Chains A and B, each alone.
Chain A
Amino acid sequence: MLLIHCPYCAEERPETEFAHAGEAHIERSTEMNALTDEGFSKFFFYRDNTKGTTFERWRHIHGCGRYFNAARDTVSDKFLTTYKAGEPKPDLSKLVDDQTNAGAKS
């Protein structure tokens, strides 16, 4: 069971309080009707399924109820960071550096 830092509760909580909610930063168009078939496919069907750092959504469904975003390494299963919905994607290179430094310390 993972510990996940909820950016709204400002603390780490057990994974069972959360629900995974798919890839992050996929925006629904404000002009859905104007999307081409290809555009719609990309929006709805296609996902990166990254090996390595992935940006994904979680919901603290049995906690504060908020959706938020996380950067997680799918190989090590480690969270690099979590951040509130609507906030921009964090700088990945900086995150990986932080993680390396943190690893070296312990």
Chain B
Amino acid sequence: MNAPVLIQPNRIAGKGRLSVADPMRFTFDGKTLPALKGDTVASALIANDIHLVGRSFKYHRPRGIVSAGPEEPNALLGIQRDVARHTPNIRATVQEVYDGLEATSQNRWPSLKYDIGEINDVVSPLLSAGFYYKTFMWPRKAWDKVYEPFIRNAAGLGKAPVHKDPDRYSSQHEHCDVLILGGGVAGLSAALAAAKNGARVIICDEQPTFGGALHFDTDIVIDGMDGFSWAQQAMAKLAAMDNVRVLTRTTAFGYYAQNYVGLIERVSEHLSAPSADLPRERLWEVRAKKVIIATGSIERHMVFANNDRPGILLASSARTYLNHYGVAVGKNVGVYTANDSAYAAAFDLKEAGINIPAIVDIREHPNAELVAKAKALGIRVLTGHGVMAAGGKLRVSSMSVAPVNGGAREVIPIDSIIMSGGWTPSVHMFSQSRGKVAYDAAKSRFVPGVYAQDCVSVGSCNGTDDLSAIIDEAIKAGEEAATYVRPNTSQVSISIEANGGNAWEGTLIGAAPGAEAGKVVKAFVDFQNDVTAKDIRLAVQEGFQSIEHVKRFTTNGMATDQGKLSNMHGLAIAAEALGKELPEVGLTTFRAPYTPITFGALVSHSKGALFEPTRKTPMHESEVAIGAVFEDVGNWKRAWYYPKGGEDMHAAVNRECKTTRTNVGMFDASTLGKIEVVGPDAAEFLNLIYTNPFLKLGVGKLRYGIMCREDGFIYDDGVVARIAEDRFHVTTTTGGAPRVLNMMEDYLQTEFPHMKVWLTSTSEQWAVIAVQGPKSRDIIAPFVDGIDLSAEALPHMSMAEGTICGVPTRLMRMSFTGEMGFEINVPADYGRAVWDTLYEAVEAADGCAYGTESMHVLRAEKGYIIVGQDTDGTVTPHDAGLDWAVGKKKTDFVGIRGLKRPDLVASGRRQLVGLKSIDGRSVLEEGAQIVEDPNQPVPMKMIGWVSSSYWSENAQKPIAMALIEDGFNLMGKKLYVPMANEVIEVEVCKAVFVDEEGGRLHG
């Protein structure tokens, strides 16, 4: 870039690790600002002396940047790449600046500085905890017109994108011996130890660079170099090892059963022009034999009046901005603390030339060495003091300081306050693993207690404070993990020398002096959800005892930051109000995700063409070529009908049905399920599975079979062909194929394991072309070799093997139309060629192809059922009029006992019958209910429902099938189908509408 480098007022020359040689530009609310490569949006904004970045959710209070990491509750921005790539609620402290990045503030109108919603802050007494539940209850009438539109308008943070997400998201299953969560001192030490001992290691860290606290803590020296440099060297060393995978910008968000851990890698969020082939994010689904949790700890804020003013930050975050990004948070920085860490931050700022007017420490006797050092640096230390309130609105301008035990206030002008209430160990991952935390009363913190999975916590997330202790603990964990996974590997010891680390003492949880019970001040516990100390006390006062209820009533910890800063404070305040010890009140549950993740990453590849498989038959393209319209049947695309010359569906189906009955039609039946049942006991097995008898079925013969469940209800049906003594070709319904095979396998493996019979799915081995109609034999005859097609040699329900068009076929004489017909099975790769050849002949004979709709009509004309349409899981073979298919002499089959249950043999069961519309033209609606008396009061007694209904061009009338109570005894009876606008009169009849004698089958 040749443009002049703009001034960044808070960038301190010579501080930080970014290079001025890498300038970048980004915009914030339309204003172009300079930044350096490696900046986060937050560090770049602060460099430009911008702290005001958003408005809070409820009160619309001006808010600034609080932290320098993923715990950030306030600085949520919309980040926009282009019109389709707008992401709301991105934490400015996590988003890296790329050249040209566009950031916008949220939850403000018309502008960040003048926001109309700020009225909420003034009327805040009306918006106390639980205000949603209280305020909008009355008057009832106001709900639709006033409250709901108001809430909808005010609800939510940021603007959701309206365009389809154009980005790629990738996913990856990965396995390792040791997964290490966190790349600070502890994580890196553990990784080095585990990797040196031969373990397959994955180490991840959410930041772009490894180091964790070493980003800010410049007092630490490890192996003779400064801590941060050591971390980079350690990472490089790990990355060079074959058995280690190093993942930066990768957050462990969920810890599930058996060490199954979800990681999200932000791949291209930091790039200004990522390649189109690069996914935006990658989801890692890691299965680890051992997990080492090294997630560190999070500094807490101080809960005091107006602690949310822009310019008030966590002390160690201010130190990160200075030591890593080279940015001072202000020129005149006040310090408010209960913990030693703020001293280190104050010293670094002071040494960088920033004025530190005072360190306000609520402790009477903080560490004397630190106090002495402060004084030596010329910093005033007010021990036993508190900040009673912060002054200023769009930016903090002063702090009002007074002794903790009461006394006069002193107002100290400042432009920033850094604070520390101590540190909260990050037990999120441990807790998600179902481990139980234990309370460390001495240090007012929860640490890992009882483990539930194969994992171990090391470092400050484990409550270990001393640097050497952390390193020793981590090395031990790494070595032990490696040995645990690979017990036969000889052990290698590593040692890491470190010094300079400080175990920071001091803690405050709950409200600071000046914000205690009874004080009417806004001292925020949860910044993002605008929960104050007062709100939590109010919840307890209103009777909420459980911390889970307090959380939901106040919304404390329910924002996108999930209470990383607020949980401990909220808990302490609730415990105090309840008069209980803190561990008795207990922590709220930690749930995945640790930080927000995109739906895109979870969906990953399962969208667009990969949303689900689209299954096509071998003949699909030929059907497309002749104009088929397709319907979805499960995952299959099936030819629905074949319109010609502008026909609508109705006209096409009428023509197809008519042509098939009078001439010839061909149909793609390839999706039918097929199972090859082979073995000496094959017939015996089928005899047990089907209601029909199968032992005596001759070779070359077919039989229609019904399969029940043990309860006696129809499960599936199909035609079974006996290919050889020990080999059957079984067909199932299209949708039933997988479950029928599963049920057969179940019986075979667990109930009849003595049988020598095996099942193989051949659904996709065979393409199936049905050729049906009086001319079907004439059509196929010229192409068939080795099979006598005559009615005598190949009668209805028989089959033979031979060739068609020169390819092997299992040719079955069968019919689902009621016409003479053949189902030609050929190996699938030949399906299309055979179809094309036959179609040419069919067309030449003025025949046609017909689709699934015509197939449905043709079979309904004959009263053939479709399982799942004319049955609903409560229909027995008898109910369906298929009693003849149940072997009366059989001593066992699946369902034999169920069929004898009292309810199944009782009278009045719904039975499958035909229905004629008396007016001769009304086509009933499938699913329509049937009543005996249309004039009875509603709710009427319904005696059945229409299962299939079509216009029959062949019968020249509407036809229907219905399940009606006691239907077999109602032949000729008039019943009624009440519809929205009319009542249709129907007459019960046999469910056969064409060729009742069935002579046409045998041509």
Q: Which residues of A contact B (CB under 8 A)?
A: 1-3, 14, 19, 21, 27-28, 30, 32-33, 35, 37, 40, 43-44, 57, 59, 61, 65-67, 76-77, 85-86, 106
**B257 adjacent to chain A (CB < 8 Å):** yes
Q: Given A28-B751, A35-B897, A37-B902, does the pair A1, B257 have CB atoms closer than 8 Å?
A: yes
Q: Which residues of B contact A32 (CB under 8 A)?
A: 892, 896-897
Cα–Cα, bound, A21→B452 (Å): 27
Q: Name 30 interchain pairs, CB-CB below 8 A, sorted by A.
A: A1-B256, A1-B260, A1-B285, A3-B287, A21-B746, A30-B892, A32-B892, A32-B896, A33-B891, A33-B892, A33-B896, A33-B897, A33-B900, A37-B901, A37-B902, A40-B898, A43-B710, A44-B710, A44-B898, A66-B749, A67-B746, A67-B749, A67-B750, A76-B452, A77-B257, A85-B753, A86-B750, A106-B451, A106-B454, A106-B484
Distance to closest chain A CB from B454 (angstroms): 5
Q: Which residue of A lies closest to B759 (CB)?
A: A65
Cα–Cα, bound, A1→B746 (Å): 24
CB pair A59–B742 under 8 Å, yes or no, is: yes
Cα–Cα, bound, A33→B257 (Å): 44
Cα–Cα, bound, A71→B29 (Å): 60
Q: Which residue of B lies closest to A43 (CB)?
A: B710
8 closest A-B pairs by CB: A32-B897, A67-B749, A28-B751, A3-B258, A85-B750, A35-B897, A40-B897, A44-B710
Q: Which residues of B contact A37 (CB under 8 A)?
A: 901-902
0/1 string, B902-916, CB within 8 A of A gives 1: 100000000000000
Q: Which residue of B lies closest to A77 (CB)?
A: B257
CB pair B753–A86 under 8 Å, yes or no, is: yes
CB pair A65–B258 under 8 Å, yes or no, is: no
Cα–Cα, bound, A86→B753 (Å): 9
Q: Which residues of A contact B473 (CB under 8 A)?
A: none
Cα–Cα, bound, A2→B287 (Å): 10
Cα–Cα, bound, A76→B452 (Å): 9
Q: Which residues of A contact B901 (CB under 8 A)?
A: 37, 40
Cα–Cα, bound, A65→B256 (Å): 26
Cα–Cα, bound, A77→B258 (Å): 10
**B711 adjacent to chain A (CB < 8 Å):** yes
Q: Which residue of B lies closest to A61 (CB)?
A: B742
**B764 adjacent to chain A (CB < 8 Å):** no
**B785 adjacent to chain A (CB < 8 Å):** no
Q: Which residues of B contact A14 (CB under 8 A)?
A: 287
**B118 adjacent to chain A (CB < 8 Å):** no
Cα–Cα, bound, A33→B256 (Å): 47
Cα–Cα, bound, A3→B257 (Å): 8
Distance to closest chain A CB from B831 (angstroms): 26
Distance to closest chain A CB from B897 (angstroms): 4
Cα–Cα, bound, A61→B256 (Å): 23
Cα–Cα, bound, A2→B259 (Å): 9
0/1 string, B482-513, CB within 8 A of A gives 1: 00100000000000000000000000000000
Cα–Cα, bound, A44→B894 (Å): 12
* Other A-B pairs beyond A1-B256, A28-B751, A43-B710, 9, CB < 8 Å: A32-B892, A32-B896, A32-B897, A33-B891, A40-B898, A59-B742, A67-B746, A67-B750, A106-B454
Q: Which residue of A lies closest to B260 (CB)?
A: A1
Q: Which residues of A contact B891 (CB under 8 A)?
A: 33
Q: Which residues of B contact A28 (CB under 8 A)?
A: 710, 751
Distance to closest chain B CB from A14 (angstroms): 8
**B745 adjacent to chain A (CB < 8 Å):** yes
Distance to closest chain A CB from B103 (angstroms): 37
Interface residues of B in 897-938 (CB under 8 A from A): 897-898, 900-902
Cα–Cα, bound, A38→B606 (Å): 47
Cα–Cα, bound, A50→B685 (Å): 33
Q: Which residues of A contact B750 (CB under 8 A)?
A: 57, 67, 85-86
Which residue of the partner chain, among B285, B745, B751, B896, contacts A65 with CB atoms under 8 Å?
A: B745
Q: Which residue of B lies closest to A44 (CB)?
A: B710
Cα–Cα, bound, A2→B751 (Å): 28
Q: Which residue of A lies closest to B747 (CB)?
A: A28
0/1 string, B227-268, CB within 8 A of A gives 1: 000000000000000000000000000001110100000000
Q: Which residues of A contact B260 (CB under 8 A)?
A: 1, 3
Cα–Cα, bound, A59→B257 (Å): 20
Distance to closest chain B CB from A84 (angstroms): 10
Interface residues of B in 748-768 (CB under 8 A from A): 749-751, 753
Q: Which residues of B contact A85 (CB under 8 A)?
A: 749-750, 753
Q: Which residues of A contact B746 (CB under 8 A)?
A: 21, 59, 67
Cα–Cα, bound, A27→B753 (Å): 13
Distance to closest chain A CB from B187 (angstroms): 20
Distance to closest chain A CB from B756 (angstroms): 16
Q: Which residue of A lies closest to B890 (CB)?
A: A33
Cα–Cα, bound, A2→B453 (Å): 13
Q: Which residues of B contact A21 (CB under 8 A)?
A: 746
Q: Which residues of B contact A106 (CB under 8 A)?
A: 451, 454, 484
Interface residues of B in 706-749 (CB under 8 A from A): 710-711, 742, 745-746, 749
Interface residues of B in 452-467 (CB under 8 A from A): 452, 454
